[in-house]
């Protein structure tokens, strides 16, 4: 008989409690699949007295995460506290140095310290598993690291934040403003009281940095990710997208280019016929483009206690099986320092919405500035809000929305052209720019 894997869990929030319950409920299945039993023998959390909807009878209580991580009675340390620093970081380091395997759902920590922790795991012989850190129940880490180990990855992109996808879905379907949808998302528990980490794109950026490292064999580099959030998206942009055959999504995109690895997070127009455009609400999705294969899209619940716990337990089961995969798919010495592709060199199509002054020569001025930067226009739409000339205060014509779709051009060219248009004072306000991602 093989001795059971003895697990210690630091953090008993929603996910931690669900992991304890799932291991107990699925004991027979896990034992059959892993070839040995899996048993939670110790836990720790900030408050021992807090009431939790989980059975902790017979499970020891460690006085701190560090004490649990160095407990000789556990084989596998599971970190579910969160945060990019201590106590999570020091506890994981201690567990790895003692030869234990580590399972974590901590995207912030992996995005910031993943390379260093992978080196410790490799040196001391333990596993470092973090499937739940990206996409929760969507097995994208294992797909990239193991399932596609023989395939050169050229691009990986996806919807990696359910809060943003929920907001954009509601805005599109109900014509609501960003502020209205955000307030509703907070009421339903999809968005935090301070939602900036989600809606400004930083959550997606952490997850993208992890996926890019696995996909391209580079050291994790969150600082190399260009980030924009969704707060500037207006209902007018979503209506225009629908008319033009697109849908707006907050995407994280990592792509191999001639100038380096391009990593970017921003609102994106995707063709309505694409797989990723069909993903609505709080659901997540990741598409992988590899050499010689058709794009693969993985769709599923990207957050929530049950979904995240499922991925954590799957990682624990891998430890029980004796699997010691390289955390980022390669030995740490083989991970390259990322060569960041400057965002100014990004090439693609663009959606541009301008509020043009209703004056003679405005259209010609805009066209001239675009032509100076060698930007070709695929389509142009100009609509008066009421089907004719709309007058504002004092009887003066109000600005008219002008929507442009460009052929492939560079980020730098678009920025230069729009800066010149603003200097010409033929538009009011800031231009709205959304990048277009083709299939």
Q: Are 301 and 307 in contact (CB under 8 A)?
A: yes
Residue 183 designated active-site: no
Half-sphere exposure of 435 (CA within 13 A, CB side): 26
State the pLDDT at residue 88: 97
List the one residue out of 204, 158, 237, 173 whose CA is nearest residue 434. Answer: 237
- Is residue 94 in a domain? yes
State the pLDDT at residue 385: 56
**What confidence category does residue 390 fall into, taking pLDDT thresholds of 50, 70 and 90?**
very low
Query: Does residue 397 register a pLDDT over 90?
Result: no
State the pLDDT at residue 384: 60
State the pLDDT at residue 360: 83
State the pLDDT at residue 279: 95
Q: What angle do CA 22, 26, 28 make, to 5 degrees?
A: 155
Please check whether residues 127 and 200 belong to one and the same domain: no
Per residue in 47-103, pLDDT (tens digit) is 988 888 898 999 999 999 999 999 999 999 999 999 999 999 999 999 999 999 999
**Which residue shows structure tokens 């990019």?**
84
Per residue in 341-371, pLDDT (tens digit) is 889 999 999 999 999 988 888 989 999 999 9
Please check whether residues 108 and 238 belong to one and the same domain: no
Is the CA virtual torsion 125, 321, 85, 42 positive or negative? negative
Q: Tell me which residue range forms the domain holding 261.
A: 141-301
The percent of residues in the chain predicted with pLDDT above 90, rounded, is: 83
Q: Convert the chain into a string of H (helix), E (strand) and C (coil).
A: CCCCEEEEEECCCHHHHHHHHHHHHCHHHHHHHHCCCEEEEEEECCCCCCCCCCCCCCCEECCCHHHHHCCCCCCEEEECCCCCCCCHHHHHHHHHHCCCEEEECCHHHHHHHHHHHHHHHHHHCCCEECHHHCCCCCCHHHHHHHHCCCCCEEEEEEECCHHHHHHHHHHHHHCCCHHHHHHHHHHCCCCCCCCHHHHCCHHHHHHHHHHHHHHHCECCCHHHCEECCCCCCCHHHHHHHHHHCEEEEEEEEEEEECCEEEEEEEEEEEECCCCHHHCCCCEEEEEEEECCCCCEEEEEECCCHHHHHHHHHHHHHHHHHCCCCCCCCCCHHHCECCCECCHHHCEEEEEEEEEECCCCCHHHHHHHHHHHCCCCEEEEEECCCCCCCCECHHHCECCEEEEEEECCEEHHHHHHHHHHHHHCCCEEEEEEEEEECCC
Please check whether residues 186 and 240 belong to one and the same domain: yes
Please check whether residues 157 and 100 belong to one and the same domain: no
Q: Which CATH number goes with the domain that contains 166?
A: 3.30.360.10
Q: Which CATH number goes with the domain that contains 391?
A: 3.30.70.260
Please check whether residues 156 and 231 belong to one and the same domain: yes
Per residue in 95-139, pLDDT (tens digit) is 999 999 999 999 999 999 999 999 999 999 999 999 999 988 899
Q: What is the mean pLDDT of the chain?
A: 93
Range from 14-18, 338-342, 355-359 that averages highest in pLDDT: 14-18
- Is residue 339 in a domain? no
- Is residue 240 in a domain? yes
Residue 416 CA to residue 373 CA, distance in Å, equals 7
Is the CA virtual torsion 232, 233, 237, 239 positive or negative? negative
State the pLDDT at residue 328: 96
State the pLDDT at residue 396: 65
- Is residue 338 in a domain? no
Please check whether residues 145 and 62 belong to one and the same domain: no
Least confident span in 215-224, 270-279, 299-308: 299-308
Please check whether residues 241 and 279 belong to one and the same domain: yes
State the pLDDT at residue 253: 97
Please check whether residues 156 and 284 belong to one and the same domain: yes
Please check whether residues 154 and 263 belong to one and the same domain: yes
Please check whether residues 170 and 283 belong to one and the same domain: yes
Please check whether residues 91 and 125 belong to one and the same domain: yes
Residue 157 CA to residue 19 CA, distance in Å, equals 29
- Is residue 360 in a domain? yes
Q: How many domains does the chain have?
A: 3
- Is residue 340 in a domain? no
State the pLDDT at residue 341: 86
Q: Which CATH number goes with the domain that contains 319?
A: 3.40.50.720
Helix axes 14-25, 305-321, angle to 10 degrees: 50
- Is residue 294 in a domain? yes
The token pair at 265 is 């997070």
Longest dimension (CA), the chain: 89
Cβ neighbors of 335 (< 8 A, separation 6 or more) are 115, 118, 213, 217, 218, 219, 328
**How many angstroms from the chain centroid is the CA of residue 434?**
18
The percent of residues in the chain predicted with pLDDT above 70, rounded, is: 96
Catalytic residue among 107, 142, 207, 326: 207
Mean pLDDT throughout 134-154?
A: 94
Please check whether residues 209 and 327 belong to one and the same domain: no
- Is residue 415 in a domain? yes
Long-range CB contacts (within 8 A, 24+) of 379-382: 379/244, 379/404, 379/405, 380/404, 380/405, 381/240, 381/243, 381/244, 382/356
């Amino acid at each position: 008989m093989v001795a059971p894997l003895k697990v210690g869990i630091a953090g008993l929030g929603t996910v931690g409690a669900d992991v304890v319950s799932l291991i107990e409920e699925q004991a027979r299945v896990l034992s059959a699949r892993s070839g040995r039993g899996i048993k939670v023998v110790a836990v720790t959390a900030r408050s021992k007295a807090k009431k939790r909807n989980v059975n902790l009878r017979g499970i020891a209580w460690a006085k701190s995460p560090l004490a649990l991580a160095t407990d000789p009675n556990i084989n596998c340390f599971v970190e579910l506290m969160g945060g990019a620093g201590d106590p999570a970081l020091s506890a994981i380091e201690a567990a790895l140095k003692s030869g234990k395997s580590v399972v974590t759902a901590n995207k912030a920590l992996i995005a910031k310290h993943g390379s260093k922790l992978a080196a410790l795991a490799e040196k001391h012989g333990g596993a470092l598993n973090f499937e739940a850190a990206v996409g929760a129940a969507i097995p994208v880490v294992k797909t990239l690291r193991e399932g596609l180990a023989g395939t050169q990855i050229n691009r990986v992109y996806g919807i990696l934040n359910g809060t943003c996808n929920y907001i954009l879905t509601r805005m599109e379907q109900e014509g609501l403003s960003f502020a209205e949808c955000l307030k509703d998302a907070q009421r339903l528990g999809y968005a935090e009281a301070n939602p900036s980490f989600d809606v400004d794109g930083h959550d997606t950026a952490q997850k993208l940095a992890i996926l890019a490292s696995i996909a391209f064999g580079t050291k994790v580099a969150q600082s190399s990710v260009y980030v924009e959030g969704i707060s500037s998206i207006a209902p007018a942009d979503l209506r225009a997208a629908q008319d033009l055959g697109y849908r707006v999504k907050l995407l994280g995109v990592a792509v191999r280019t001639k100038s380096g690895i391009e990593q970017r997070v921003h609102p994106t127009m995707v063709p309505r016929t694409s797989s990723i455009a069909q993903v609505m609400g709080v659901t997540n999705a990741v598409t992988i483009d590899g050499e010689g294969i058709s794009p693969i899209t993985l769709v599923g619940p990207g957050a929530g206690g049950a979904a995240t716990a499922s991925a954590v337990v799957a990682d624990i089961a891998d430890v029980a099986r004796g699997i010691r995969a390289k955390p980022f798919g390669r030995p740490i010495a083989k991970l390259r320092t990322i060569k960041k592709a400057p965002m100014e060199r990004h090439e693609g199509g663009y959606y541009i919405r301008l509020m043009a002054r209703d004056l003679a020569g405005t259209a010609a001025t805009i066209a001239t500035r675009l032509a100076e930067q060698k930007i070709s226009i695929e389509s142009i739409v100009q609509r008066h809000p009421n089907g004719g000339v709309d007058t504002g205060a004092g009887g003066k014509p109000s600005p008219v929305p002008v929507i442009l779709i460009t052929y492939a051009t560079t980020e730098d060219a678009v920025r230069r052209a729009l800066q010149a248009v603003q200097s010409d004072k033929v538009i009011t306000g800031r231009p709205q720019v959304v990048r277009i991602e083709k299939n």
